[in-house]
Amino acid sequence: MCGRYVQVSSPRLLAEHFDVDEVVTEPHEPDYNVAPRADVYAVLEREPGSRLLESLRWGLVPSWADDLKIGDRLINARAETIAEKPAFRRAFARRRCILPADGFYEWKPLPKQGSARVRKQPMFIHRRDGEPFAFAGLWEAWRDPDDRDSPWVVSCVIVTTRANEVLAPIHDRMPVVLDEANWSGWLDPTEHDLDRLTPMLVPAPAGWFVTYPVGTLVNKAANNGPELVSPVEPATLFQ
């Protein structure tokens, strides 16, 4: 699962890194604690061969949904089932995107002490080379069925897979991080062959990742700032 991540790279940097043809979003404030419902940068192709950087709402709202609330439950999509799940299968076949991230958080269970409840250590994960992640994502456009004059809401979901050997001790799931060789195929809106797409949805190599403990400030979505990714000594957190 991925419930919080970091998105601080500028649109200019992301456009260069992901070979974007047009930026169609205003710059966001750097976000060290991206939470569901946030507007996030996404790379997608509405037309073949034209790569855009847009802003999407995190939490997928399928076109058939009655209201936006369903998006709160659809922040992640399991790679193993997206071809069958009604909420994801059409987007998987036709509306795929890359969600850039500069890192993400997971919570590692700590050994239980006596009758105390299970404690969890926030961990920050980023690429060893410092480059942005290319999370595999899906996107959808939705409009209130009771108000056809309302604006379209374009939303997204992060695809997850089983954890690799570095992340497995922290959590059993991780976001799908696409290899650069797969970016074009994943974004291509004319590519509908699921047998070609599905092999992309595997755990990224363990050597790509660095992990370290951070403070519990990240536990509250309202907290933000670079201090959230500062390393801490885990033994000091719960004393």
Query: Annotated catalytic sites, by residue?
Result: 2, 106
Nearest to 70 by CA among 106, 34, 33, 36: 36
Residue 206 structure tokens: 């363990």
Phi, psi at 212, each rounded to 5°: -160, 155
Tell me if 138 sits within 8 A of 157, measured CB to CB.
Answer: yes
Residues 25, 14: contact at Cβ < 8 Å? Answer: no
Strands laid side by side in the 120-127 sheet:
31-34, 5-7, 103-109, 120-127, 209-213
Burial 131-150, CB ≥16 within 10 A → b, else e:
ebbbbbbbbbebeeeeeeee
DSSP 231: B
Q: Are 174 and 163 in contact (CB under 8 A)?
A: yes
What's the alpha-carbon Rg for the chain, to the nearest Å? Answer: 18
Closest by CA to 167, choosing from 211, 128, 137, is 211
> What is the spatial distance between Cα 38 and Cα 226, in angstroms, rounded to a whole number?
18
